[in-house]
C-alpha cells in the first residue's frame, strides 16, 4: 500500500505533537531528538530540516498552544469587545478550560522552568507578558473610572492570574481533580467574585 506524502505543515505539526508529549513525560533533559524522530517515524535529519534550532521548536510549541492558524493569540481574540468583569471571566475560563482539556503545555512550562530550558522564558516574554500587560491595563482603566481601589495594577493582575494558574496546577499536575470536581463556570464565578470583593472601591 502506497503511503500518502504529507505536507511540510503537517510534518511540522506531527513533530510538535510528538515533542510535546515526550517533553511533558520525560522533561527536556530526558528527551533527545533521536527519541522524537523514532516516535514520529522519521529521521533526525528531518527534524533539523523543519526546526534548525531548538528555539524554533519551542516557539512552534507555543504557537500550537496559544495561537490560531494566522498566528494571532487565541485569548486576545476572545477578549475582543469584552469589558468590566467579563474580561476576568473570559481569561479565567480560557486558561482553566485549556489546561483541563490538555494539561501537556502546563507540564511543559513546569519542566522548562525547573530544568532551566528556554521554552518557559520564550512563553513568558511573549504570550505570558501579553496577557499580564493586557489585564494590568484593564485594571488601570477600572481604577481610573473609580470602580477599583487605587492599587498597583500589574501586581493586582499577577494576583488574579496567580489564582487561576495555581488552581490549574493543583488540578492537573498534582491530581486534585480526582477529589475536587466543580464545573468550570462555577469556579470562575467564585474566583472573579473573590477578586472583585477585594478590589472594588467602597464609596461613602
Q: Please report, for the domain that includes residue 26, its CATH number.
A: 1.10.10.60
**Residues facing 200 on adjacent strands:** 148
Instruction: Please give the residue range of the domain that contains residue 90.
Output: 70-199
Q: What is the pLDDT of residue 171?
A: 95
> Is residue 187, in this structure, part of any structural domain at all?
yes
**Neighbouring-strand partners of residue 67:** 73
C-alpha cell at 172: 492537573
* Number of separate domains in the chain: 2
Statement: the pTM of the whole predicted model exceeds 0.95? no
Domain match, 45 and 140 both? no
Contacts of 94 (CB under 8 A, 6+ apart): 74, 75, 78
Q: Are 108 and 189 contained in the same domain?
A: yes
Whether residues 100 and 179 share a domain: the answer is yes
Report how far residue 200's alpha carbon sits from residue 21's, in angstroms, rounded to the nearest whole number. Answer: 42
How far apart CA 101 and CA 21 sit, in angstroms, is 14
Same domain, 98 and 24: no
What is the C-alpha separation between 119 and 59, in angstroms, rounded? Answer: 7
Q: Name the stretches of the chain with pLDDT < 50.
A: 1-2
pLDDT at 199 (0 to 100): 97
Give the C-alpha distances (Å, rounded to integers) separating 123 from 7, 55, 147, 150. 27, 11, 32, 30
* Domain harbouring 152, CATH code: 1.10.357.10
- What pLDDT does 2 receive? 45
SS (H, E, C) 21-38: HHHHHHCCCCCCHHHHHH
**Does residue 89 sit within a domain?**
yes
pLDDT on residue 204: 59
Q: Are residues 153 and 79 in the same domain?
A: yes
Q: Of 52, 10, 58, which is closest to residue 31 (Cα–Cα)?
A: 58
Amino acid at each position: 500500500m502506497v503511503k500518502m506524502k504529507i505536507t511540510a505543515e503537517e510534518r511540522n505539526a506531527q513533530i510538535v505533537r510528538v515533542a510535546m508529549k515526550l517533553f511533558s513525560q520525560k522533561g527536556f533533559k530526558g528527551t533527545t531528538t533521536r527519541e522524537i524522530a523514532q516516535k514520529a517515524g522519521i529521521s533526525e535529519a528531518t527534524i533539523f530540516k523543519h526546526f534548525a534550532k531548538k528555539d524554533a521548536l519551542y516557539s512552534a510549541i507555543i504557537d500550537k498552544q496559544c495561537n490560531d492558524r494566522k498566528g494571532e493569540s487565541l485569548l486576545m481574540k476572545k477578549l475582543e469587545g469584552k469589558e468590566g468583569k467579563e474580561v476576568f471571566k473570559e481569561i479565567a475560563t480560557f486558561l482553566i478550560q485549556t489546561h483541563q482539556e490538555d494539561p501537556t503545555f502546563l507540564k511543559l512550562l513546569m519542566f522548562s522552568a525547573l530544568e532551566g530550558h528556554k521554552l518557559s522564558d520564550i512563553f513568558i516574554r511573549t504570550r505570558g507578558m501579553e496577557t499580564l500587560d493586557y489585564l494590568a491595563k484593564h485594571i488601570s482603566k477600572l481604577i481610573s473610572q473609580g470602580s477599583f481601589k487605587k492599587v498597583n495594577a500589574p501586581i493586582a493582575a499577577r494576583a488574579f492570574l496567580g489564582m487561576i494558574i495555581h488552581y490549574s496546577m493543583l488540578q492537573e499536575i498534582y491530581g486534585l481533580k480526582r477529589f475536587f470536581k466543580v464545573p468550570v463556570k462555577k469556579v470562575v464565578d467564585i474566583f472573579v467574585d473573590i477578586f472583585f470583593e477585594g478590589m472594588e472601591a467602597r464609596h461613602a
